[in-house]
Chain A
Amino acid sequence: MDILTTFVDTFPMFFEGMLLTFQLTIVSIFIAIFIGLFFAMLKISKVKVLEWVADLYIFLVRGTPLVVQIFIFYFGLTSLNISGFWSVVLGLAFHNGAYIAEIFRGAIQSIESGQMEAGRSLGMSAGLTMRRIILPQASRRALPPLGNQFIIALKDSSLASFVGVYELFNIATTQGSINYDYMTYLLIVAVYYLVLVLLFTVIVNLVEKKMSNSER
């Protein structure tokens, strides 16, 4: 009973936090998609130097804890007068970009080589064929793993609390310590995360359905 009252009482506060978590996730994923696409192109460029650059980037992201990356971005960028919110967004984008690059690369390489050849044989350039023929098909295949990555990014955004961004998890721990009752607030915040994940899942499923309707 107690927890329900607390839930209702803290709703305005947690709702704000939820919006911030939502923004952190959406903005960082949006940027990460462009980073991912860019590095996926480097990976499939067949130019050794460019492939190495992409490999190095992916190695750096995979080889270090996310929390370290966030701290480096936070201290690095806030010293350049960039806000805490944006430094965390860029840190998360940097991190997710590597995974999204691998998702895109896999999806692009799963498109049979005949598609590129067909485009080329019609006089379309490699770039045009990539844009008009390969990428639309690859994005469809990338959607399920991308959706998965969105959800991971959403949960990972909780690490922003360690550098003082007042998102969901930060509210929960702050309230927990003020009221000497961590458990109640942690259970409450878990509910908010579940709702957000559910929302994301529904959106991804809708997009997937819409895309598969317009084909085959």
Chain B
Amino acid sequence: MSESIMINIEKLNKSFGDLHVLKDIDFTVKESDVVCLIGASGSGKSTLLRCLNFLELKDSGTITLEGEVIEKDSHDLNEIRQRVGMVFQHFHLFPHKTVIQNIMEAPMQVKKISKKEAEEQALVLLDKVGLSDKKDVYPSKLSGGQKQRVAIARALAMKPDVMLFDEPTSALDPELVGEVLATMKELAEEGMTMIVVTHEMGFAREVADWAVYMHDGKIVEVGHPEELFNHPKEERTKSFLDSVL
């Protein structure tokens, strides 16, 4: 198999003041990989994702995206972020814009594509996430699951090469989790490279190629989900899994 490397991180460090949050993280994601990131609260999962699309700037280490080492001094981070889509726990839809306007905003404003083209693309994406009938509705009228699916469509509208999901279902009522996971599974099957912070072990087992366990700012263990969940090699992984399962 000649899979190309999508993201490579070496010796990544990040601190907030005195708090050392990411400690020498090494991590590789190949194209079309789906990676699930698990770990206790405060272990640095969100910070790692945010460093990957430069919402947080690393202190040291290298981040390589599609073979290119990205540095804030040599690269336009706005351009990099177009290639790295992000879905947030609390959706962060734009409340003053309708569903379709949410999706059309960045392609029109950033990529400067025509309104007509943006609309056509948005309709395809809405169809894909199953929300064509909601296109002219404001976000406040949507359920949590619908909001998150719009947020996914909005991120996809920029045609990113990688998608980052930070606990995309944690803010949802249990009965709404399934629809969002189904959308994500579909995306994975289409070959999207995805890094997902989640506690949905069922999703990780079914969809993920790799599971990564983080503890206290370090990657403790990486493995195929079944293996990592059923036969963790590290004691810390084992005790974490015992506590969540």
Contact = CB atoms under 8 A, between A and B. Distances in A.
Interface string A100-139: 0000000000001011011111111100100011001100
Interface of B: 53, 55, 78-79, 81-82, 84-86, 88, 90, 92-96, 105-106, 109-110, 138, 140, 151, 154-155, 158
A118 B82 contact: no
Most buried by B among A123, A124, A128: A123
A117 B88 contact: yes
Interface of A: 112, 114-115, 117-125, 128, 132-133, 136-137, 140, 214-216
Given A118-B93, A121-B53, A133-B105, 10 more contacts: A114-B90, A115-B94, A118-B88, A120-B78, A122-B106, A123-B79, A124-B109, A132-B109, A136-B96, A215-B140
Given A114-B88, A132-B105, A132-B109, A122 B95 contact: no
B92 A118 contact: yes
25 contacts: A114-B88, A117-B55, A118-B88, A118-B92, A118-B93, A118-B94, A118-B151, A120-B78, A121-B53, A121-B55, A121-B81, A122-B82, A122-B154, A122-B158, A123-B82, A123-B158, A124-B106, A124-B109, A132-B105, A132-B109, A133-B94, A137-B96, A214-B96, A215-B138, A216-B140
Contacts, number: 66
A216 B138 contact: yes
Contacts of B109: 124, 128, 132
A110 to B, nearest CB: 13
B96 A140 contact: yes
A124 B110 CA distance: 6
